[in-house]
Amino acid sequence: MRIGIWMIAAISLLLVIQGAADAETRVKEVEIQGNERIETDAIRQVIQTEAGDTYNKDRLSADLEAIYQMGYFDDVRVSVEKKEAGNIVIFTVEEKPTLRRIEFEGNLIFDDEEIEENVDISSGAILNIARIKSNISAIERFYKDKNYHNVKVDYEIKELDHNRADLKFIIEEGKKVRIKEIRLEGNQAYSDKELKKLIKTSEKGFFSWLTSSGDLDMQTLEQDVYRIESHYQNNGYAEARVAQPEVSYEGDWIYITIKIHEGPRFKVGELSFKGELLMSEDKLMEKISINERTYYSREALRNGVMTLSELYADRGYARADIRPQLNKHPDEHVMDIVFNIEKKQPIYFEKIVIEGNTKTRDKVIRRELQVHEQEKYSDSRLKRSIRNLHRLDYFKDVNVDTMQGSSENQMILNIDVTEKATGSFSLGAGYSSVENLYVTGSISERNLFGRGQKIELRGQMGSQSRQFRFLFTEPWLFDIPLSATIEAYNWDRDYDDYERDSKGGKLRFGYPLYDYTRGYLSYAYDISEIYNVSSDYTHLIDKGRYIESSVTASVVYDSRDSAITPTEGSRYKVSLEYAGLGGDIGFIKPKAELGKYFPLFWETVGFLHAEGGRVWDVGGKYLPDYEKFYLGGIDSLRGFDWRDVCVRDEDGKKVGGEKYVQFNAEFLFPLIKAAGLRGVLFYDTGNVYKRGKNIDLGDMRESVGYGIRWYSPLGPLRLERGYILDRKEGEDSGRWEFAIGGAF
């Protein structure tokens, strides 16, 4: 009995001791103290210790570090209060001040807004010394990029109540540091003056305040090194190397040293081709622009590799490997070039995927493609396909991507288009040099129902004419590239000495003949009413009703990259019109027109245009004056009045000529590229001749001028001023002209 009592007492004592030990090793509560702005819950989220956990010093140390890493506190402490029911863990934090205001002092060259764009600290941010120093570096970098290399930036903190502070960046800008001297070392073949003309970095000049000469831009300087090296490499110095420039700052000046190793000058020796050749070496030689015995050119070599790559890609070998091998003969200063060619296996278009077209039908896009599924890859035909899609003018953008197909020799072509609005409605009024005041309205759709069909209804009423026109074009009649156009019009026009009211229509068919070339055949029927003939003009034209029935054959070559704003390409047209298939009027009228656009420099474009024609009556029928030729006005010879360049009869009256020639040259340059605004400088010359008189190029009328063009929603808007160079008695010196519509 006594043994049982002692056992119970011993067990009870053990339980009391165990309970006391558990209380010492258990966390009863976790408290956060000292925080004012930072939420308690936000702090609790980063710590691991919770009420009920076993007390663990290592875990508390990790929690302490986690709270500090939040970046909001200058100091974090942890303490433990031992209670009978367990330990109370207390995290005490001291918050960093917040920034009330950020100021800049000492900056005179750049205003606060410019500097603020280069810092990433703002009002309300936590005061962080490391971040402040990072922003000091950013401000100094901003100044140094502007060539203020002596800039010094410090900071000052003003502590405020409620744990806030003001931050002030104190800036000593210093003077602008410019390039005093560019030293070239090691150059023997070319003088300092010749090489400095190649680079954009320059020494400080007298007009540096205006031209920015002497400014240092490290990116430009690095490009200058490449320019110098390329100049050597493209002129025979295959081993030429240009070291990274050494830039030193001495007071208010910068000194740049560029060291050059020229090496010997090599001529091209033997050219040869090895590997898998698609044609004879002689024919391959004709494709590249490298000639034997001329000086080696890295650029010509690179172009040769690209030409051969495109040649192989055009025959299906899109992954052909063209590796040039240079075999130097230092004693002779000659370099043999061997093109090692591995054509690899041909690539086929497994699938052509078209995406992005929500309106335009797939077949409208596919019929413009020169590449097809299961055919060999062709680089030139793929480029032509993309150009065709751009020329449709249905899309803002056309993106092309290629992906691996189901096997190594299969390729998936992905064409992703971004459509744009193709319908337009306009109503407006304006003033032109021909019509004076006029009102105009039109409604058109260039991609009707997504089928690629065009429809247009246009009307215009002015002081000289009133016209209404309807036009519909089906570009692929019977699903073949046969275009068909139906046109109907009513045009009432004042020709100064008489008025003409014409009604009629036209049916035209077109079909592709060659690359970029289409042939057209059209039939036109016109009924014209001539009235209000002036008394001194009755011997040239009679009032009354005239019927004209004519057929026209023409061939048009058009390789322009855009029909609206071309920058390169050509447009040639030859036509022959025969009138006399019934009716009162009969004539033959051949005409030719040539135009070429070519890119120049700085996104400028050159344009050359020429045209000429003849007309004579046939079959004893009538050749009216309005079918003869006149020049003058914004669409022919600018600066001259409309139809002012013509033939004069015995009484000095204006009459149309049976022959004419016209030449135009333009220099187009961007003014506001995003708005489609361009400037133009032009030179025009031409003349009109009567039957029996030969065309005399020494008797041409001439004008020069300038203008602006805006490709507005109403169409191309032109405002141009022409000056007559060979002014005759009674003629004005020139004139302003304005029009909305197409140019040459």
User: What pTM was computed for the model?
Assistant: 0.61
Does residue 373 share a domain with residue 306?
no
Alpha-carbon span 208 to 224, nearest angstrom:
19
Residue 197, SS3 per DSSP: coil
Does residue 161 share a domain with residue 115?
yes
Does residue 312 share a domain with residue 372?
no
Alpha-carbon span 499 to 493, nearest angstrom:
6
pLDDT at 435: 53
Contact 242, 229 (CB under 8 A): yes
Cβ-count burial of 652 within 10 angstroms (0-12 exposed, 13-18 middle, 19+ buried)? exposed
Bridge partners (DSSP) of residue 282 are: none
Task: Kindly give the residue spans of alpha helices, DSSP state H, lying in 111-215.
Answer: 112-116, 129-145, 192-196, 208-211
Where is the domain boundary, 152, 172, 192? 172
Residue 219 lies in a domain: yes
Residue 478 lies in a domain: no
DSSP 8-state class, residue 699: G
Does residue 84 share a domain with residue 26?
yes
- Cα dist from 415 to 61, 359, 365, 367, 389, whole Å: 59, 15, 10, 13, 10
Alpha-carbon span 218 to 245, nearest angstrom:
10
pLDDT at 53: 86
Residue 569 lies in a domain: no
Does residue 207 share a domain with residue 160?
no
Q: Which of 390, 346, 381 lies closest to 568, judged by CA? A: 390
Does residue 273 share a domain with residue 256?
no
Q: Which of 232, 228, 229 lies closest to 296, judged by CA? A: 232
Alpha-carbon span 137 to 671, nearest angstrom:
38
Where is the domain boundary, 75, 95, 115? 95
Does residue 298 share a domain with residue 287?
yes
Cα R_g (the chain), whole angstroms:
41
In our burial notation (b when 16+ CB lie closer than 10 A, e otherwise), range 517-532 reads ebebebebbbebebee
Residue 304 lies in a domain: yes
Total count of domains within the chain: 5
CB count in 10 Å sphere of residue 646: 22
Q: Which of 651, 613, 652 lies closest to 630, judged by CA? A: 613
Residue 104: domain span: 98-172
Residue 33 lies in a domain: yes
Task: Give the tens place of pLDDT for each residue, 623-633.
Answer: 998 899 999 98
Contact 438, 414 (CB under 8 A): no
Does residue 252 share a domain with residue 188?
yes
Task: Give the tens place of pLDDT for each residue, 421-451.
Answer: 888 776 655 444 455 566 767 788 989 999 9
DSSP, residue by residue, 35-76: -SSS-HHHHHTT----TTSBP-HHHHHHHHHHHHTTS-EEEE
Residue 492 lies in a domain: no
Does residue 406 share a domain with residue 356?
yes
Contact 177, 148 (CB under 8 A): yes
pLDDT at 23: 47
Residue 698 lies in a domain: no
DSSP, residue by residue, 623-673: --GGGSB-B-STTSSTTSPTT-BSEE-TT--EE-BSEEEEEEEEEEEEEEG
pLDDT at 428: 54
Does residue 331 share a domain with residue 278?
yes
End-to-end CA distance of the chain: 128
Low-confidence ranges of the chain (pLDDT < 50): 1, 10-23, 430-433, 742-744
Where is the domain boundary, 342, 373, 408? 342
**How do strand 569-583 and strand 647-648 relate by DSSP bridges?**
unpaired
Does residue 352 share a domain with residue 400?
yes
Contact 23, 52 (CB under 8 A): no
Which long-range contacts does 323-327 make (Cβ < 8 Å, 24+ apart)?
326/238, 327/269
Does residue 104 share a domain with residue 90?
no
CATH number for the domain harbouring residue 168: 3.10.20.310
Which residues are CB-contacts of 202 (< 8 A; sequence separation ≥ 6)? Answer: 179, 182, 196, 213, 214
H or E element that contains 698:
none
Residue 156 lies in a domain: yes
